[in-house]
């Protein structure tokens, strides 16, 4: 995935003139996701509550403190972009930081709560819950 910070993401959303451009940016961002091996696209890694197929894996990488690394994929272009936005927020951060993050507030700040369908919003919520569950497991491990 392209190295991007949350501040970069906020700035890009501000600079884009309209939602058509933002949607294109979201789809392009999804194309930069780290590839997920077919072997990881299993029922166990599937995110429940998403209309599209979404798979998510998590690993804890060594460090002081250890950091979470997520990989995810979807069969829908816009969903891949939404995943990429979430991963900008959470990837390579300590589990406690992932747990403390209000990802829904960030999505609202970007205007996504008003510009994606209710089904997509439910899917984003399901992805956030799964990411937080993985971080909670890592925090107690």
Active-site residue, from 9, 33, 47, 50: 50
Specify the pLDDT at position 51: 85
Of 29, 30, 32, 52, which Cα lies nearest the Cα of 41? 52
User: What is the reported pTM?
Assistant: 0.94
Mean pLDDT of 32-37: 92
Mean pLDDT of 31-43: 94
25 part of a folded domain: yes
Output the pLDDT for position 63: 83
pLDDT 10s digits, 109-140 = 999 999 998 899 999 999 999 999 999 999 88
Q: Encode pLDDT of 43-56 as tens digits.
A: 999 999 888 999 99
State the CATH number of the domain containing residue 92: 3.90.1010.10
The secondary structure element, H or E, covering residue 135 is: helix 118-140
50 belongs to the catalytic site: yes
Per-residue model confidence (pLDDT) at position 88: 96
Number of domains comprising the chain: 1
Residue 1 lies in a domain: no
Can you give the pLDDT at residue 140? 83
Domain boundaries, position 107? 6-140
Q: Which residue blocks in the chain are alpha helix, DSSP H?
A: 6-15, 19-30, 77-90, 95-100, 103-109, 112-115, 118-140
């Amino acid at each position: 995935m392209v190295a991007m910070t949350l501040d970069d993401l906020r700035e890009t959303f501000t600079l884009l003139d309209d939602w058509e451009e933002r949607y294109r940016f979201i789809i392009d961002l999804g194309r930069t996701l780290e590839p997920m091996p077919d072997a990881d696209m299993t029922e166990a890694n599937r995110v429940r509550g998403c209309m599209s197929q979404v798979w998510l894996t998590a690993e804890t990488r060594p460090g002081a403190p250890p950091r979470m690394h997520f990989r995810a994929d979807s069969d829908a272009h816009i969903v891949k972009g939404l995943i990429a936005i979430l991963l900008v927020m959470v990837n390579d951060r300590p589990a406690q930081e992932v747990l403390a993050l209000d990802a829904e507030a960030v999505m609202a700040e970007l205007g996504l709560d008003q510009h994606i369908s209710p089904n997509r919003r439910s899917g984003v919520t399901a992805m956030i819950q799964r990411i937080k569950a993985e971080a909670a497991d890592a925090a107690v491990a």
